[in-house]
Amino acid sequence: MMDIDAVLLIGSLLVLLSIGIAKLSDNLGVPVLLLFLGVGMLAGPEGPWGIRAVDAGTARSVGIMALVFILFAGGLDTKWNSVRRIFWQSASLATLGVLFTAFAVGLFAQFFLGFTIVEGFLLGAVISSTDAAAVFALLRSKNVSLQGTLTPILELESGSNDPMAVFLTMGLIQIHTVPDSSAWDILLLFIYQMGFGAVIGLGLGKAMVFLLNHLKFTYQGFYPVFSIAFAAFVYAATSAINGSGFLAVYVAGLVVGNSEIVQRRSLFRFFDGLAWLSQIGMFLTLGLLVFPSHVASVLGGGLLVSAFLMFVARPLGVFLSLALTKLQWREKALVSWVGIRGAVPIILATFPLLANLPNAEALFNIVFFIVLTSALLQGWSVPLAARLLKMDAPLPRRLDYPLEFEGPRGTETELIDLVVPYSAAAVGKPLVELGFPEDSLIVLIIRNEEFIVPSGGSVLQAGDTLLALTTKRSLPAVRKIFSEQR
């Protein structure tokens, strides 16, 4: 066993190497999470470094801890106002879509790979969910923008379908190891896990909001520490009573992210960084676990299942689960293609290994191969698929402002950005002549991606972006000053 100095040295080098490679490959179109996995494989047992420090149990533990923070951060960043309209579509994808996909893959594996019916369905369950880390990273990258409600549908689905895949995997392992288990027992387990996961996540999410706003820590550094511990507590407390901890932690993040809390900006930024660290650590660990030569031995079967999953099973699950919605076939087709598999299926594939099930190693290697092909083929091609299906949208302009403002909880003052329309009466006028409310102030002008500190004599031009400090009471008057003139 390596000592702590060696662990810290190797771990830090792998993380820094992963970030460096990701930076150098920004314009190559390769999914960044796949690069992290590749670094782990290079450092793994059959790579140049030959590290043999990870087993299935360690990989599962690291993966679960990483997923807790990835899902919590995903919930924080999910805007309820955006996903409320498409909640039932995403919920159907996250449950029925996963079930239909697992069922189709299970039948295929039984007929074409020689698996038993339970082993086939177990393979289908393991690879049935899309990966939250991969989908969040893809949809929030700089080169993907989708029309309408597609982005919130995909984000909410990927953040909420892991519990269904976990349930199916554990249920099928139970059927394999406890033959007396009935379908009724499995159904009750599903209702129990999902119900408790949702209810506990909602309740503890509200409790976290209350505590963040009322504890008033002396040191600001306590807020992220408290949030990390509470997110872990949500998962562990729910799992301790056999509820779905993954669903609970995602719901808790959703509640916190859509509530008014102190230290909001700093907490969001902190969890964004923590989520990336978790993703890097999870993919590196899984890369260290795998033996590439073993994966190569299932090349034929892996290609068959991967192709069936991408072109038949996933589309079948999407079109059936969204059959009663008003989504067009092109939207459903794009949702089908953004069914990216990532670390979650690999983590779930360690469960049969730890349960010593027959064909568990073959199942693990097939799953790993499917993840590689999914990331390689689907990950880079989503922008192309969106263009071919005419579902792409103009990339939103993103500016990183050199200043921030976060008023005390309950204050009415906020920092907003405004764009000066070409037909606005304010064009060509100095700020002093605009008649601003006394409690409002223009603090920054962004013109041609340059930042200008304003004065009373600063003359506005069409297309300027303004950062204004104002109150909710005066916000309508401020917007009226920069409205278009008909």
Q: Tell me the per-residue pLDDT of 251-295, one tens digit each, with 9 for 90 and over.
A: 999 999 988 787 777 888 899 889 888 888 888 888 888 888 888
Domain 413-481 has CATH 3.30.70.1450: yes
Domain spans, the chain: 29-388, 413-481
3-state DSSP percent of the chain in helix, strand and coil, to 5 = 65, 5, 30
Q: What is the pLDDT of residues 10-32, one digit of tens each?
A: 888 888 888 887 776 655 555 67
Q: Which residues of 211-235 are buried (b: 16+ CB within 10 A; e: fewer)?
A: ebeeeeeeeeeebbebbbebbbebb
pLDDT at residue 485, as a whole number: 60
Amino acid letter, residue 244: S
Q: Is residue 405 predicted with pLDDT exceeding 80?
A: no
Determine the distance from the C-alpha atom of residue 146 to the mean position of all C-alpha atoms in its chain, rounded to a whole number.
16
CATH number, domain 29-388? 1.20.1530.20
pLDDT at residue 143, as a whole number: 62
Model pTM?
A: 0.79
Sheet containing 413-419, strands listed edge to edge, beginning at the edge strand earlier in sequence: 413-419, 465-471, 441-447, 450-452
pLDDT at residue 232, as a whole number: 96
Amino acid letter, residue 9: L
Banded pLDDT at 110 (limits 50, 70, 90): very high
pLDDT at residue 233, as a whole number: 97
pLDDT at residue 268, as a whole number: 87
H-run or E-run covering 467: strand 465-471
CB neighbourhood size of 47 (10 A): 16
User: Reduced to 3 states, what is the DSSP secondary structure of residue 398?
Assistant: coil
Q: What is the pLDDT of residues 305-345, one digit of tens each?
A: 999 999 999 999 999 999 988 889 999 999 999 888 887 88
Token digits of residue 41? 């494989």
pLDDT at residue 486, as a whole number: 47
- Taking CA 197 as the corner, what is the angle to CA 191 and CA 200, rounded to the nearest 5 degrees? 125
d(C-alpha 445, C-alpha 47), whole Å? 52
**Residue entry with tokens 């960043």:** 77
Q: Is residue 396 predicted with pLDDT exceeding 70?
A: no
d(C-alpha 165, C-alpha 228), whole Å? 25
**Residue entry with tokens 């494989």:** 41
The mean predicted confidence, pLDDT, of the chain is: 84
pLDDT at residue 199, as a whole number: 94
Which of 409, 412, 453 is closest to 265 using CA atoms? 409
**Residue entry with tokens 């568990």:** 360
CB neighbourhood size of 403 (10 A): 10
